[in-house]
Amino acid sequence: MQNLVRYFIRILSWESAMAIYAVGDIQGCHTELVQLLEKIRFDPASDKLWLVGDLVNRGADSLQVLRLVKSLGESAITVLGNHDLHLLAVANGTGRLHRGDTLDEILNAPDREELLIWLRHQRLLHVEGEYVLVHAGLLPGWTVEQATMLAREVEIVLQGDDYIEFISNMYGNKPDAWDDGLTGLKRLRVIANALTRMRICTDSGEMEFDFKAEQEKIPRGYHPWFDISDRASRGATVIFGHWSALGLMVKPNAIALDTGCLWGGPLTAIRLEDREIIQVPCADSSVAKHW
């Protein structure tokens, strides 16, 4: 009887406790996001939502996704992804729309400026306890503390009055490795590229940005950033997205959550307290899976 009482006490404590749900790349899939929040019975008053970035683009309802996440206030933490930064560049005339972009609804929205200002004030990296939330990854030589400070450099610029200068010079693959001596826009570009675009790199941290396929097809000399054996952040659990061809991956110190909802896969969440996976299917069954 005592064991039964203790069991129900644990159940009641669990139901009343705050839960943290990390969610993979949304990319404008508003219907699936709403369904996922309903499935996990998300309560903004007690739960937290961690989003790995790429809230927008390529999906049909990026505007509604931005409005929804913004409306959640402090109960949602999002880090910026490469598509989110791309939106900021296009909105300010320093980037051009690509084939397949679905940003027009945001650009023409009456609350456009309010949403863009909110987006600029989101983070590139979030650290809490043992967890690190980032869109793409951390360079192997970066400790969590160093990555946090470097991310903050870019965040300060994005939130400042002169952010357009950075956005105008953000694009580019060079430099492709970190150097403590980097300064100015080159320094900011490497930081942003690592945190929002990297999938693979060499043991020494040289990044390659064209690769988007499955792990089995990685070019010789490169590795998934999280598999570098001596990476300085290996003591933390890094939660990331960005690599839809990788799919769901749950390791002790790395959790990948981009399951390609945009391309017909599910939208995925993980409850950090017990690492339970929760998914909802792509709402558009006609979407062909394509990486």
> CA–CA separation, 157 vs 202, rounded Å?
29
Residue 280: closest CA among 81, 23, 75 = 23
Residue 132 in contact with residue 126, Cβ under 8 Å? yes
d(CA 17, CA 140): 35
Token digits of residue 131: 């967890």
- Strand pairing report for 267-271 and 20-23: antiparallel
- The amino acid present at 13, given as its one-letter code, is S
Residue 162 has pLDDT above 60, yes or no: yes
CB-based contact 46:21 (threshold 8 Å): no
Q: Are 44 and 277 in contact (CB under 8 A)?
A: no
Beta bridge mates, 201 = 207, 223
What is the pLDDT of the chain when averaged over all its residues? 93
pLDDT digits (tens, 9 = 90+) for 120-137: 999 999 999 999 999 999
**pLDDT one-digit tens code per residue, 187-215:** 999 999 999 999 999 999 999 999 999 99
CATH architecture of 24-280: 4-Layer Sandwich (3.60)
Picking from 17, 134, 150, the residue whose alpha carbon sits closest to that of residue 82 is 134
- pLDDT on residue 1: 46
For 51-106, what is each residue's pLDDT tens digit? Answer: 999 999 999 999 999 999 999 999 999 999 999 999 999 999 989 999 999 999 99
Domain ranges of the chain: 24-280
